[in-house]
Amino acid sequence: MSDDLDRCDVAVVGAGVAGALIAYRLAAANYRVVMLEAGPAGRNRQDLVADYSLAAIKTPRSPYADNQPSSPVWSPDSEKDYIQLGPSPFKSTYLRRVGGSTWHMLGNMPRHVPADFRLATSYGVGVDWPIDYDDLEPWYCEAETELGVAGDHAELNGLHGAYRSRAFPMSKIWPAYGDIFVAKAVEGLTFEGADVRVLTTPQARNSRPYDGRPACAGNSSCVPICPIGAKYDATVHVSKATTAGAVLRTQAVVTRIELDSMTRRVSALRYTRWDEQGRRDERRLRADIYVIAAHSIETPRLLLISSDSDAAPTGVANGSGQVGRNLMDHLQGQMAAVVPQPLFPYRGPPTTVGVDTFRDGTFRASHAAFRLSIGNDGMGRVETPFAALEQKLVEGLIGSRLRVALGDRLIRQFRISYSTEMLPSAHNRVTLADAVSDSFGMPRAQLSLHLEDYNRLAFEKAAALISSIFDRLEIPDSDRKPQPKDTYSGAGHIIGTTRMGTDAGSSVVNQHCRAHEHDNLFIVGASTFPTGGTANPTLTVAALALRAASKISSLLQRGS
Amino acid sequence: MSKFVTGYSDIGGELEQLYATIMSSKPDWASELASLAIAVDEAKANADPEAALMATIKQQPEVGHAARRLAHVWYAGRLSAENGVDAAFVSEEAYFGGLIWRAARAHPPGLSGGYFGHWRYAPDV
Ligand SMILES: Cc1cc2nc3c(=O)[nH]c(=O)nc-3n(C[C@H](O)[C@H](O)[C@H](O)COP(=O)(O)OP(=O)(O)OC[C@H]3O[C@@H](n4cnc5c(N)ncnc54)[C@H](O)[C@@H]3O)c2cc1C
Ligand code: SF4
């Protein structure tokens, strides 16, 4: 298909995992697909790793020169990069480049559990999804195969009712030395009447060569980049899509969704191609079906920017007023410690096991479900190896005394983090900062967030659980570093903002991710989740995208 | 002197040359390092040379500062924080060659040189 094409069957906005999977499936089915991606394709992986090695602080954005503030598609790297309306900060980030935010994700790939789809019915909080676990289960299997998820089928089959009809395509990633030590130490532990068991985490990193990519070698830098491509990132499906015939236009920022004022169908996408020399080229793309896969902040931003006085006065797909609302994350914290026995961290993937016990239970009526991740990366942000070095130098140690004392501390550093579910709330939202535009003249997003007792209480519960694990490890109080009260970090899981539902009056898309109001418009990604559960979102994003691709394919076949 | 201050007797090579070039380009390092060199020589005459140098470090701030800076660059692969701002790594090799990872019996994030599953076992060294 030629690159100057201005009409295709399916136009996809965003070449992250959601957009790339849809582009791949539909191109493979012989539809003419064009992907418009705001960011660049970027340099090769080795150069990115080199930049990572030089960066003073290894933040998620550090390897990506293309996404630094000098770039027109600079990407947020901390809460300071957002316009925050408060009262609480939103702390999760994303990347704008081919492959999207999967470049710097960790790669944990748990499924949601059945009750996550029925929070309102089961516990009287949040909302229900218009689909349930049974609807998504076959698509979870497909997503695990596409992304390449390594996991322990027998151990995870039936977790909180989440049955598995197919084994993982790869056996589990081996737990680390320290994980095995901790799992033994907690054997028999109960907390609030429930058995605390350490389970392996399903992960999109190869435990053997898979899909043309090598096995994980334990480089331990998954966030922000896997040097060898053992961890899945969406460049895998972008290149599968283009091999199948899809056209990828990079450095192509969609600035407006245009509507036909009579039919209210999407009639075109307006986009700007940019280059490093500052040139800008305005273009239009027409398609039969349009897919917005720009992730949970850029998607509502684009929908709101595209408001049209006739066809969509409050924004595209926003008749319900829900576009931008219900912004969620998994609010996290951690407890760090220096353990009496060596655990030998900084080797292998940053986490390979966790505690899934509190991902569901009747307590969800009053506080958030949470998942614990047992870390394999020392004390995380609480005390980096460099901070430990500084401390030993200040103590005046040198020579073999420095080597031994520093080593002794580093091999005993440890952390367990918790990740809590937020409830959807209309006042947690993305809106447009009308007075502040980006270099394409598009109003920037601004974020509002409120920390609720539902999460505060879960923070306390999770901290108490971790304390009881620390007791089993016989860690003295003086060697424990708790998370300061009511503080949190982001998980990178940006959820909500274009929720799915059956009722067009209270949701943006239907159960197939199709906009209620514009029948040739699909919106995919974690923005469609009505509630967040405790699973890292990308597997569910992938499962929903594959399901939407199948729906789009059947619509195109029928010629509607 | 670097070997004495870091406690690693097998360091040297290209990184040593790189660090020497950087230090000689910074005037404030030169005099400090000269004082450190004298202190190291004197310490070596003692039964426990390291303990002797640590005692000198406590008494002579200039020697202490130089020892900390020298150890820091070898362990971290970057110069000490200035004004509380973390310095960038000196070079890719400096980051990957930081002694901090050897002290942890691990490897720098981004380069394990290992095989699948090695993290399951205690390190060999
Ligand atoms: C530090 C970190 C760790 C994470 N770890 C995990 C994990 O362990 N497990 C997990 O499941 N998830 C994890 N995530 C989340 C995961 O990265 C995202 O869920 C996933 O990448 C989202 O995919 P997506 O395709 O929906 O969006 P993205 O990957 O963000 O892709 C969207 C694309 O759309 C493009 N775009 C945006 N606006 C426009 C426009 N106007 N025109 C054209 N293109 C546009 C963007 O440039 C981008 O490339 C993590 C995230 C972070 C930040
Ligand atoms: S541990 Fe290393 S090799 Fe394995 S996936 Fe992460 S970065 Fe890649």
Cβ A56–B88 below 8 Å, yes or no? Answer: yes
pLDDT for B87 equals 76
Domain hosting A437: range is 5-76+94-155+169-558
Q: Between vectors from CA A504 to CA A498 and to CA A508, what angle results, nearest 5°?
A: 10
Is ligand 1 within 6 A of the CB of residue A96? Answer: yes
Report how far residue A118's alpha carbon sits from residue A125's, in angstroms, rounded to the nearest whole number: 9
Report CB contact under 8 Å: A348, B119.
Answer: yes
Contact A393 B7 (CB under 8 A): no
> Do residues A441 and A354 make contact, with C-beta atoms less than 8 angstroms apart?
no
**Contact yes or no for A56 and B89 at CB 8 A:** yes
- On the question of a cis peptide bond just before residue A224, with omega within 30 degrees of 0, the verdict is yes
**Cα gap B113→A179, rounded to integer Å:** 21
| Ligand 1 site-directed mutation target among A12, A36, A94, most atoms within 8 Å of CB | A94
Q: Which long-range contacts (CB under 8 A, 24 or more apart) does A163-171 make?
A: A163/A137, A164/A137, A164/A140, A165/A137, A165/A138, A165/A141, A166/A141, A168/A144, A168/A202, A169/A144, A169/A145, A169/A210, A170/A206, A170/A207, A170/A208, A170/A210, A171/A207, A171/A208
d(CA A536, CA A354): 13
Q: Identify whether A533 is part of a domain.
A: yes
In one-letter notation, the amino acid at residue A440 is F
Residue A344 falls in which region: left (phi positive, over 0), alpha (psi -120 to 50) or beta: left
The one-letter amino acid code at A523 reads I
Contact B50 A401 (CB under 8 A): yes
Query: Ligand 2 center to residue A216 CA distance, Å?
Result: 5
CB contacts of A215 in chain B (<8 Å) are 116
CATH number at residue A387: 3.50.50.60
- State the DSSP code for A112: P
Does the C-beta of A102 come closer than 6 Å to ligand 1?
yes
- Cα distance from N-terminal residue to C-terminal residue, chain A: 23
Number of residue pairs across A and B with CB atoms under 8 Å?
156
| A160 belongs to a structural domain | no
* CB contact (8 A) between residue B120 and residue A176: yes
Calculate how close chain B gets to A50, using CA atoms only, in Å: 6
Query: Looking at the domain assignment, is residue B62 inside a domain?
Result: yes
**Domain-located, residue B26:** yes
A322/A485 Cα distance (integer angstroms): 32
Cβ contact, residue pair B100, A386, below 8 Å: yes
> To test the ligand 1 pocket, which listed residue (A98, A105, A440) has its Cβ within 8 A of the most ligand atoms?
A105
Spatial CA neighbour of A551 closest among A6, A10, A4: A10
Instruction: State the amino acid at position A207 in one-letter form.
Output: S
Residue A325: what residue type? R
Q: Whose CA is nearest to atom 53 of ligand 1?
A: A492
Query: Could you tell me which residues are beta bridge partners of residue A521?
Result: A290
Of B7, B72, B78, the CB nearest to A393: B72
Query: Cα-flanking dihedrals φ and ψ of residue A197, to 5°?
Result: -115, 140
What's the CA gap between A77 and A422, in Å, rounded? 22
3-state secondary structure of A50: helix
Three-class secondary structure of residue A214 per DSSP: coil
Q: Give chain B's domain count.
A: 1
Is A330 considered catalytic here?
no
Residue A81 lies in a domain: no
Q: Mutate which of B46, B54, B119, B120 to disrupt the A interface (most A C-beta within 10 Å)?
A: B119
Test site for ligand 1: of A295, A301, A351, most ligand atoms within 8 A of the Cβ: A295
Q: What is the pLDDT of residues A462-490, one digit of tens each?
A: 999 999 999 999 999 999 999 999 999 99
Strand order in the sheet with A83-87: A83-87, A443-449, A429-437
Distance from CA of B117 to the nearest CA of A (A): 6
CB contact under 8 A, B100 and A49: no
* Contacts A394 to B, Cβ<8 Å: 68
Give contacts of B36 with chain A, Cβ < 8 Å.
none
Please tell me the distance in Å from A227's CA to the nearest CA on chain B.
Answer: 6
Q: Which ligand is nearest to the CA of A349?
A: 2
Q: Could you tell me if residue A51 is inside a domain?
A: yes
Please report residues of B whose CB lies closer than 8 A to that of A348.
118-120
Distance (Å) from the alpha carbon of A217 to chain B's nearest alpha carbon = 5
Query: Residue B84: what residue type?
Result: G
For residue B71 the two structure tokens come to: 């150890």
d(CA A118, CA A516): 21
- Ligand 1 atom closest to A98 (CA): 49
In a domain, residue B42? The reply is: yes
| Cis upstream peptide for A87 (omega within 30°) | yes
Q: Is the CB of A354 under 6 A from ligand 1?
A: no
Structural domain includes residue B125: no
Question: Å from B27 to nearest chain A CA?
Answer: 23
Q: Which residues of chain A have pLDDT under 70?
A: 1-5, 560
State whether the beta carbon of A331 lies less than 6 angstroms from ligand 1: no
Preferred mutation among B116, B121, B125 to probe A, highest tally of A CBs within 10 A: B116
- Side-chain-side CA neighbours of A228 within 13 Å: the count stands at 23
Helix (H) or strand (E) holding A297: helix A295-305
Name the packing angle between helices B61-76 and B49-59 (round to 10°): 120
What is the number of domains present in chain A? 1
**Nearest 10 degrees: Cα torsion A20, A25, A31, A37:** 0
> Torsions phi, psi of A55, nearest 5?
-65, 135
Contact: B119, A176; criterion CB under 8 Å: yes
> pLDDT value at position B115?
86
Rounded (5°) CA angle A339-A343-A345: 110
List, in order, residues 6 or more apart from A47 with CB less than 8 Å away. Answer: none
* Catalytically annotated residue among A112, A493, A512, A518: A493
Tell me A279's DSSP state.
-
Quote the ligand 2 centre to A510 CA distance (angstroms). Answer: 37
Query: Is the distance from the beta carbon of residue A526 to the nearest atom of ligand 1 less than 6 Å?
Result: yes
Stated pTM of the model: 0.96
pLDDT-derived band at B30, boundaries 50, 70, 90: confident
Residue B82's pLDDT is 64
B125 contacts on A by Cβ (under 8 Å): none
What is the token pair recorded at A183? 């799992």
Q: Which domain holds residue B96?
A: 2-120
Give residues (CB < 6 A) around ligand 2.
A 205, 216-222, 226, 228, 230-231, 349
H helices of A434-519, where? Answer: 453-472
How far apart are the C-alpha atoms of A433 and A324, rounded to whole Å?
Answer: 13
What contacts 24+ positions apart, CB below 8 Å, involve A42-51? A42/A66, A42/A97, A42/A98, A45/A225, A45/A227, A45/A228, A45/A229, A46/A227, A48/A225, A49/A221, A49/A225, A49/A227, A49/B110, A50/B92
Q: Do A406 and B111 touch (CB under 8 A)?
A: no
If we measure between CA atoms, which residue out of A266, A257, A352 comes closest to residue A298?
A257
Ligand nearest to the CA of A494: 1
Structural element, H or E, at residue A480: strand A480-481
Model confidence over B37-88: pLDDT tens digits?
Answer: 999 999 999 999 999 999 999 999 999 999 999 999 999 998 876 656 677 7
Of B67, B78, B114, the CB nearest to A217: B114
